[in-house]
Structure 1
Amino acid sequence: MASVIEYSTVVEMFDNITQKYLSDSRPMLMHKIEGSYVNFSYREVREMVHSFALGLAAIGIKRGDHIAVISENRPEWVVADMAIMKLGAVNISIYPTLTPKQVEYILNDADVKIAIASNQLQLNKVLKIFNDVPSLKRAIVLSDKVVTQEKKVMNYSHVVEMGKEFDQLYPGYVDNEQKKIKPDDLMTLIYTSGTTGNPKGVMLTHNNLVSNMKACASIIHFGSEDILLSFLPLSHSYERLAGYYTAMACGTTIAYAESIDTLRDNLIEVRPTIVTTVPRLFERLYNRIMKQMSEESKIKQTIFNWAINVGKTYRYSKRKNVIAPGLSLQHKIADKLVFKKIRERTGGRIKFFVSGGAALAAELGEFFDAIGIVVIEGYGMTEASPVICANLEQKYKFGTVGPPLPGVQVKIAEDGEILAKGPNVMRGYWKNPEATKEAIDKDGWLHTGDIGQFDSDGFLKITDRKKHLFVSSGGKNIAPQHIEGLFLQSSFIEQVVLIGDGRMYLTALIVPSFDSLKEYAKKHRIEFSNNEDLSQHPEIYKLLEGELSKFQKDLANYERVRKFTILNSPLTIENDELTPTMKVKRRVVEAKYKELIEKMYADVV
């Protein structure tokens, strides 16, 4: 549904929505504290934001100042964000998973004046590099439990107390500053994940984000009766736009998951109706379901497979408004025997998932749709605030990212690159005019770096990243992400990185699912002492070889993996092998495992 209020800036949205629901009994935000979810009302959050804005003003924050927020998802993230906005300052959102060195780069590049850290861990990062950031004057820690003797550090409560004194001296100051904010004012710098080189600061205005919020709200039904579970980092443009600003503008309650590791429990506790997520969640859930079914009796497996086929036929027929006689009854039986039990794992109330950040395999979308779990897949990038295209709740196509959003123009260049244009396109990259010129041409088209094509119904299909496309030594173009997505359907494969640019054939680095391997080893009496021992066992290699053969059987010869190497440990954000949104840093991985990769090509002459 469309937003339930009028607004032209993000902070005006916040003011108007909290005013509309000021006396509402529904929570605005939900957060787990000491083992239980605690509700934050619209009145509470509104007052917290105003108090913190006064405190920031008291310590000298002015219009145009750059303030960094380094925090996990929590109500105080929203409070800090909106308080910064009220003063006309600029939020520099930083992933809490970044290293001190990476934080230092962003703080220096963005000329940050104050860093707001969530806890001791994040504060330690700031303190470690404080003296190496000339622009940095002070740090604020959101947790009052953190005790420090550092004079340059203040805690949240202290800032709020200073705000009370400031309000006595300068009544109406925050409201007056907010009135100066215009739609074209810079609102935030969001640093790209940086799969190659240093991240770039994307400059987004209020109008950039507001246009995207309104477009998304016009096609996806976020309602005041909904509860959205947020677990992707708010530092990322996708969660910030979809799981925060747009949901809030529609009066949707937002609940924060504790972490991705507790997501299964939080789904049951919160019983959300909407979840914004990435394809990896569906891959894991699918593998878990299929693994469980493989251990069931033949009768149960037969019922499961029958139910999935019925579900696919029913959902397809329903979209076409033609349901064959008897199909509805079959679907009711399948739902009672199979689907309802699976949906209960997500809390049992899901209306839909919103998937973005990477391509969702069409087979996965179709599988969950059959169960009655609708997955709305969209596409975008931070430079576009971020959504460019999205499937509709009642009209969607598996394997596509839907048509362009209202108000956004999309076209395909001669080389297949997707170009976008509209009010959501960024102002440019911070202090990087050359990169800006490279990204946005003279006619205002944003060059996404993605390859795609439209189908006959105007739905966009993404092929791959332009810079990720491999060209084999034989001149064949290969899209690695599509092939990797096929392999990730295996319950025995956790991560996979294809290698082959400029090579005679494709190879792969594979991180197995050690839990699945251990169960397989136990069942087949394979002895091992640790993960490394297990992963190098000939029977395990043979198992994974069979999995690759199974999932690549329909690929062309030049798209098939000829050799692979099993890695003993997962690719992680902490080791700089993944971006904070779980995308593989190919250059980093290829450099780190160069020796193993070259061995797979050692016999090429």
Structure 2
Amino acid sequence: MAERIYTAPPATGIPVRGKTLPDVLYEALARYKNPAFLNQPVGPGRWEPISLHDFAEQAEALALGLHAVGLERGAHVAFYMESDAHFCLADMACLIGGLVDVPIYLTHAPEAIHYVIEHAEARALVVSNQELLGRMIPLLHDLPGVQAVVVADASGVKRDRVVGRPLYTFTQLIAEGRRRRAADPEAIARLRAQIQPGDLATIIYTSGTTGRPKGVMLSHENISFNALTAFSGIKNYRSGPDGEVALSFLPLTHVFARTLFYGYLYHATSVYFTTPDALREALQQVRPTAFATVPRALEKIYGALVERAATMPGMKGQIFRWALELARRYELGRKPRGLYRLQLAVADRLVYRKWREAMGGRIAFIIAGGAALSAELANIFGAAQIPILQGYGLTETSPVITYNRLELNRAGTVGVPIPGVEVKIAEDGEILTRGPHVMQGYYKDPERTREVIDEEGWFHTGDIGYFTEEGFLVITDRKKDLFKLSTGKYVMPQPLEQRLTADPLIDQALVVGPGYKFTAALIFPDEDALRRLAARLGLNANQPLETLVREPKILEAYQQIVDHANEGMDPWATIKRFLLVPEQLSIAGGTLTPTLKVRRSVLYKRYEAQIRALYEGTTTETETHAAKTFES
């Protein structure tokens, strides 16, 4: 029987083809005037607005300024920038000027940054400010291909050369671009006329969980199709200055936030930039109607709710716990009826509206991507009338393949395909996709490109999943993450890890077991939550973390979490033994990717002895106390 190909259901958007990314800007300009299109942070709780018209005018001038310093059409420009209005301005200037930008994660190690700049053959480097310039100076000594450096915010910059190269500021280049445009009013029109939808727009180097980064080549149409088609499926989206208000705190170096920005641009949506650390305050100050996030941030919010439920005293505490239990029973896609519907209405007045107020009180929807979101969280937020639209995609797919719509939303799934995209499940369970969203290939790596894009144009995602009877896609694991026990049984670690990290006491988890006879786990506790638990249990909460994770009462609490995670799993996949590791994983430490995914190969190597001890039983004194064995 032929493999079934899944496409977008009726009335879930329209495919938008044939546009360059500057087209997105100029079509917005023709329709809207937004005096506060981009809002750049200038201090705690303060933003400086940039109008849509000024954004376009500055981007044009900067494009001409970049050409003035010797960057010709097709040249590659590396970005080492904060995720703010300056990034967006530099990006649009490159797009208008026919330049290819190469964003670099600020969290990359120096060796990875050097590799990306050299491999991408970048001829110029754009940095945000003096601080980031200082980080790059040591690397520039060994990057002869970089012929010019540009700094966006010149505050504190007093030089005009850096490591033998000319140093320009945005102010200088914009001024030069304005002079050129005044002398040649048709200059921008000629640049725009040269840009084609199939032209290379950007090279985004995937962080990856193993090996060196791969340069994903995305065209103008790859991204414009993806952004505009995905946005077309959001019913009742309000465009223009009186419409939606977006808060942006995810890295624009990642395609998820970048594609979202072009969608906001097309609709002239007001965008406020902030950082993950300032998110809580920004939600109250900006009161956004929409924002995008990774599931980990939502898990933190949920963890705070669970802790509050556990510690709130008296009648208020009882009501809060009652409302939380009601929310846990909610099921997206199924209308509440009878007594349950009335109970939800009461809980909304007493509790849920306060949750919404904590997020600014105006949230119309939250877009979640980058990792799996637990069904429990999606349902709980849904009960509180905070819609979470979880989606799925990769850098190589620009990125959206599927996402849940406001009117078509199922917890535990990543939604249905966007229009113009095809998806099918291979015989081994791998998810394949085909359409105008699929990348042009990996830069200077045709062999790896052929490995992932077959002769029929299907991109092999490397993810395992299936479609429900209703046509919603469910991701079960990464193909390369599946492992085989010595018993011959296969284990999918991600569902277990997702259940574990949904608990506020757990920051990260690694499920292990390849080649062994049972499944085990390394659990990295959330230190703050753990210390609060210790205080509630009457323990010394200030003792060293290494000592705290050995406390029997603490181990018993984590046993309950593991027991809960094991519920409903295949017997061979349940966690039989775990180790509490008193350390925090981080991007800077190389144990997490920039999108907060666990680097499995790094952890397997770093904690090789601890993992082996879990199975051999020859633990050290610390590990003996910190490990807990579970019988089948």
Pairwise same-fold verdict (TM > 0.5): yes
Q: Per-residue deviation at 1:551?
A: 2.8
Show the counterpart of 2:191: 177
- Where 1:97 maps in the other structure, the secondary structure is coil
Match of 2:100 among 90, 94, 100: 90
- Where 1:392 maps in the other structure, the secondary structure is coil
Q: Per-residue deviation at 1:12?
A: 1.2
Q: For residue 197 of structure 2, what is the amino acid of its counterpart? A: P
Whether the aligned pair in 1 keeps the contact of 2:247 and 2:291 (CA below 8 Å) is yes
Whether the aligned pair in 2 keeps the contact of 1:452 and 1:464 (CA below 8 Å) is yes
Question: Does 1:348 pair with 2:361?
Answer: yes
**1:86-106 deviations in Å (ceiling 9; x for gaps):** 111101111122122111110
Q: For residue 281 of structure 1, what is the amino acid of its counterpart? A: A
Whether the aligned pair in 2 keeps the contact of 1:7 and 1:16 (CA below 8 Å) is no
Q: For residue 568 of structure 1, what is the amino acid of its counterpart? A: P
Match of 1:254 among 242, 248, 271: 271
Show the counterpart of 2:403: 390
Q: Structure 1 residues 182 and 363 mapped into 2: Cα distance closer, same or farther (>3 Å)? A: same
**1:487-509 deviations in Å (ceiling 9; x for gaps):** 11222111111111222122222
Show the counterpart of 1:47: 57
Question: Does 1:441 pair with 2:462?
Answer: no
**1:429-463 deviations in Å (ceiling 9; x for gaps):** 00000000001001110000000111111111111
Q: Structure 1 residues 309 and 567 mapped into 2: Cα distance closer, same or farther (>3 Å)? A: closer
Whether the aligned pair in 2 keeps the contact of 1:312 and 1:369 (CA below 8 Å) is no
Matches within 5 A, 1:509-524: 509-524=522-537
Matches within 5 A, 1:432-511: 432-511=445-524
Q: Structure 1 residues 6 and 250 mapped into 2: Cα distance closer, same or farther (>3 Å)? A: farther
Question: Does 1:32 pair with 2:41?
Answer: yes
Whether the aligned pair in 2 keeps the contact of 1:99 and 1:125 (CA below 8 Å) is no
Whether the aligned pair in 2 keeps the contact of 1:308 and 1:370 (CA below 8 Å) is no
Question: Does 1:13 pair with 2:24?
Answer: yes
* In structure 2, C-alpha distance between the alignment counterparts of 1:328 and 1:479, rounded to whole Å: 36
Show the counterpart of 1:272: 288
* In structure 2, C-alpha distance between the alignment counterparts of 1:458 and 1:370, rounded to whole Å: 23
Show the counterpart of 1:233: 251
Matches within 5 A, 1:165-204: 165-167=179-181, 170-204=184-218
Q: Per-residue deviation at 1:298?
A: 5.9
Q: Which has the higher contact order (CA 8 A, sep 6+)?
A: 2
* In structure 2, C-alpha distance between the alignment counterparts of 1:2 and 1:364, rounded to whole Å: 26
Q: Per-residue deviation at 1:312?
A: 6.7
Question: Does 1:588 pair with 2:594?
Answer: no
Q: Per-residue deviation at 1:311?
A: 5.2
**1:28-86 deviations in Å (ceiling 9; x for gaps):** 11122022122211122122212211211111111100011111111111100000011
Moved more, 294-303 or 263-272: 294-303
* In structure 1, C-alpha distance between the alignment counterparts of 2:82 and 2:451, rounded to whole Å: 33
Q: For residue 245 of structure 2, what is the amino acid of its counterpart? A: I
Q: TM-score, normalised by structure 2?
A: 0.90
Show the counterpart of 1:419: 432
Whether the aligned pair in 1 keeps the contact of 2:331 and 2:411 (CA below 8 Å) is no
- Where 1:436 maps in the other structure, the secondary structure is helix
Matches within 5 A, 1:567-582: 567-582=581-596
* In structure 1, C-alpha distance between the alignment counterparts of 2:233 and 2:266, rounded to whole Å: 14
Q: Per-residue deviation at 1:7?
A: 7.0
Match of 2:580 among 562, 566, 579: 566
Show the counterpart of 1:291: 307
Q: Per-residue deviation at 1:373?
A: 0.8
- Where 1:199 maps in the other structure, the secondary structure is coil
Taking only aligned residues, the RMSD between alpha carbons, in angstroms, comes to 2.2
Q: Structure 1 residues 553 and 459 mapped into 2: Cα distance closer, same or farther (>3 Å)? A: closer
- Where 1:121 maps in the other structure, the secondary structure is helix
* In structure 1, C-alpha distance between the alignment counterparts of 2:256 and 2:63, rounded to whole Å: 25
Whether the aligned pair in 1 keeps the contact of 2:204 and 2:395 (CA below 8 Å) is yes
* In structure 1, C-alpha distance between the alignment counterparts of 2:156 and 2:506, rounded to whole Å: 41
Moved more, 112-121 or 447-456: 112-121
Matches within 5 A, 1:132-211: 132-149=142-159, 150-151=161-162, 152=165, 153-167=167-181, 170-211=184-225
Question: Does 1:556 pair with 2:570?
Answer: yes
Q: Per-residue deviation at 1:301?
A: 4.4
* In structure 1, C-alpha distance between the alignment counterparts of 2:504 and 2:327, rounded to whole Å: 22
- Where 1:113 maps in the other structure, the secondary structure is strand
Whether the aligned pair in 1 keeps the contact of 2:330 and 2:379 (CA below 8 Å) is no
- Where 2:517 maps in the other structure, the secondary structure is coil
Whether the aligned pair in 2 keeps the contact of 1:217 and 1:250 (CA below 8 Å) is no
Moved more, 524-533 or 378-387: 524-533
* In structure 1, C-alpha distance between the alignment counterparts of 2:136 and 2:95, rounded to whole Å: 22
Q: TM-score, normalised by structure 1?
A: 0.94
Question: Does 1:62 pair with 2:72?
Answer: yes
**1:463-519 deviations in Å (ceiling 9; x for gaps):** 100001121111111111110111112221111111112221222222111112212
* In structure 1, C-alpha distance between the alignment counterparts of 2:476 and 2:393, rounded to whole Å: 14
**1:398-436 deviations in Å (ceiling 9; x for gaps):** 111111111101011110100000011111100000000
Q: For residue 85 of structure 2, what is the amino acid of its counterpart? A: P
Whether the aligned pair in 1 keeps the contact of 2:248 and 2:273 (CA below 8 Å) is yes
Q: For residue 64 of structure 2, what is the amino acid of its counterpart? A: L
Q: Structure 1 residues 404 and 168 mapped into 2: Cα distance closer, same or farther (>3 Å)? A: closer
Deviation beyond 4 Å, 4+ runs, structure 1? 168-171, 308-316, 325-329
Whether the aligned pair in 1 keeps the contact of 2:525 and 2:580 (CA below 8 Å) is yes
Q: For residue 23 of structure 2, what is the amino acid of its counterpart? A: E
Show the counterpart of 2:123: 113
Q: Count the aligned residue pairs.
A: 597
- Where 1:228 maps in the other structure, the secondary structure is strand
Q: Per-residue deviation at 1:313?
A: 6.8
Q: Per-residue deviation at 1:273?
A: 0.6
- Where 1:425 maps in the other structure, the secondary structure is coil
Match of 2:112 among 55, 77, 102: 102
Matches within 5 A, 1:72-83: 72-83=82-93
Q: Structure 1 residues 309 and 593 mapped into 2: Cα distance closer, same or farther (>3 Å)? A: closer
Show the counterpart of 1:357: 370
Match of 1:223 among 230, 238, 241: 238
Q: Per-residue deviation at 1:325?
A: 5.0
- Where 1:461 maps in the other structure, the secondary structure is strand
Q: Per-residue deviation at 1:178?
A: 1.8
Unaligned runs of 5+ in 1: none
Q: Per-residue deviation at 1:327?
A: 5.5
Whether the aligned pair in 2 keeps the contact of 1:228 and 1:272 (CA below 8 Å) is yes
Show the counterpart of 2:623: none
* In structure 2, C-alpha distance between the alignment counterparts of 1:51 and 1:256, rounded to whole Å: 23
Moved more, 261-270 or 502-511: 502-511
The alignment-based identity, stated in percent, is 36
Unaligned runs of 5+ in 2: 1-11, 619-632
